[in-house]
Amino acid sequence: MKKFDRFFEGYETKAYNLFGAHKEGEGVRFTVYAPHAHKICLISSFDGWYNEHYLEKIDDRGVWSLLIEHLQPVHAYRYRIYRDEFTWHERIDPYAYCFERRPSTASCMYDLDYYTFSDQKYMDNRPRSHDDKPVNIYEVHFNSFRKDGQFSSFRQLKEELIPYLEKEHFNFVEFMPVFEHPFDGSWGYQATGFYGVTSRYGTPYDFMDLINELHLHGIGVILDVVYAHFVGDEFGLIDYDFSPLYEYPEPHLKSSEWGSYYFNLYSPTVISFLMSSASFYLDRYHVDGLRFDAVSHFIYHKGDSTQGENKEGQAFIKRLNFTMHQLYPEAMMIAEDSSDFPKVTGGVEYGALGFDYKWDLGWMNDTLRYYSMDHEYRKYHHNLINFSMFYFYSERFLLPFSHDEVVHGKRTIVDKMFGRYEEKFSLCRNLFVYMFTHPGKKLNFLGNEIAQIREFDEQKENDWFLLQYPIHDAFNRLFCDLSELYTTTEAFYRYEYDSEHFRWIDADNAAQSIFSYMRWDEKYCYVVVLNMMPIYYDQYEIGVPYRGTYTEILNSEDFKYNGCGVTNPGSIKSVRGVKHGHKNILRFTLAPFAGIIFRKKVGKIAE
């Protein structure tokens, strides 16, 4: 049948309309792809799981279908797939929109058409590029923001998450994987259902309603998606029709380091399956962007450059990104990539992989290594901080402090900081001044904003009780102020990827471990100074390009942030003198571990 041709060619983006369980007239039609099956039957809860309803092969290439009359799409079901007359196993519907809550494993019929979004104004106003827009992302695990019983709920998140995001000045939320998955501890990264929203937290309508409400409040939604591999539980995709239909047939290619199975990206039908999954969430759920997990595994075999480039993986990513940008030009495609492979971001037509943004994991690793280092050794590792701007403009980078950095014994962000308890907070305040003033979009995992001490645990909610303690409450105040500054100040977001709008003042002061740099736009110049040492300076000097008055708009050591209180109130006038290549000098008080932001109203950069 011609309607399946694009699916078999690897170019189908709406395979969820061809396969799955769909209302048809007064009944439901079931369609599944299983080319090696001897026969297939449907078993379902609508008749007590007792009867076998046999599907008919409607396409010689392996498409089976069955219409059951007078049936409402409200029941659980499985496919019983026969290898021969006597041997069978039961599998989920790969295109199911919903599943039973674990530990049950059946697919569920669900009609998505009953829900009507009311976010058209938001959708119509989405920009085609966010390069000159603020992107401040809050990464959330569904079960860890708030809990009421065993699981959180999409409805609860709608009531509690949205006002919190507004208060903290986040304009995007990134949800860790929403695909149905059997094991809570995988956090969704080992999935079975690539079209089914996990039933742990509610129904597909509940999730649609959460996204709709976020959009009504001007907050975008990014989904963390996992298209490199799938979990090997026997009720899922593995050995689906007694053949490696979704996984590689070669033993040395199929198994991943996580005990899961790589998708066979040689297969056109697998490519159509995955591209349609991406399209499904952008189309039916109005999602604003996708963050791709484990992109290095698409670039290199098993993510290891020594095993050679994964050419079919790269080709798949290029096809997917190019196609999604054609269909949904407003959607962001984001790569979590730990490799140094060039041209991950940029247009496919220019030889790149086609992503809009790439997580800067090099920046993250170097930065956290530096801040966790004994003060005395920092002067020998000064380049861990200044190196990021050497390569920053080679890609469209996003700066992440994600869930990966606060699990498995790595300690939380504040706990990574070197020093005694209060020193950790001083350094962590300094760190976030650095993060929010460094070029690049921002991402923070829940708990970072309150300086959570305990590592992430998917079974527990965030430690909100910490805000009862002044040191945590004051830290959150600083985070909110920085978050607002970034999202409302054009100099910090409009020219993030324009090298003409960032300039080091002093990148090389290793002896004192102090960094200073500038960000600016047509109206204002912002000067940032970071003191990485527990040393006080009564009259610290830097060269500045403008003569006149500078105002300290933020100091991480302000009393209101639980700092030592050494700040620079009022205005400071520059004086004539040559320093750092400029003809004006700014003198100010610099407290231990202080992160300071000065503002000067200007025209263009000139002495």
**Coil, strand or helix at 412:** coil
H-state helical runs in 219-374? 251-254, 268-284, 296-299, 311-327, 361-371
What span, in angstroms and rounded, lies between the C-alpha atoms of 414 and 426?
A: 9
Taking each helix axis as running N to C, give the angle between helix 421-437 and helix 361-371, from 0 to 180 degrees, rounded to the nearest 10. Answer: 150
Q: Find out whether 313 and 265 touch, Cβ atoms under 8 Å.
A: yes
Name 262's Cβ contacts closer than 8 Å, sequence gap at least 6: 228, 229, 247, 248, 253, 254, 255, 256, 297
Binning the chain into helix, strand and coil, the percentages to the nearest 5 are 35, 25, 40
Q: What are phi and psi of 466, to 5 degrees?
A: -60, -25
Residues 471, 424 contacting (CB under 8 angstroms): no
Burial (CB count within 10 angstroms: exposed 0-12, middle 13-18, buried 19+), residue 383: middle
φ, ψ dihedrals at 431, nearest 5°:
-55, -45
Query: Which tokens belong to 395?
Result: 């890609």
DSSP at 255 = B
Packing angle, helices 154-168 and 470-488, rounded to 10: 80
Residue of 362, 368, 350 lying closest to 440 (CA atoms) = 362
Whether the CB-CB separation of 245 and 40 falls below 8 Å is answered with no
In Å, how far from its chain's centre is CA 465? Answer: 26
Determine the Cα–Cα distance for residues 161 and 211; give it in Å rounded to an integer: 11
Quote the CA–CA distance of 310 and 294 in Å, as a whole number.
Answer: 13
Residues catalogued as catalytic: 293, 336
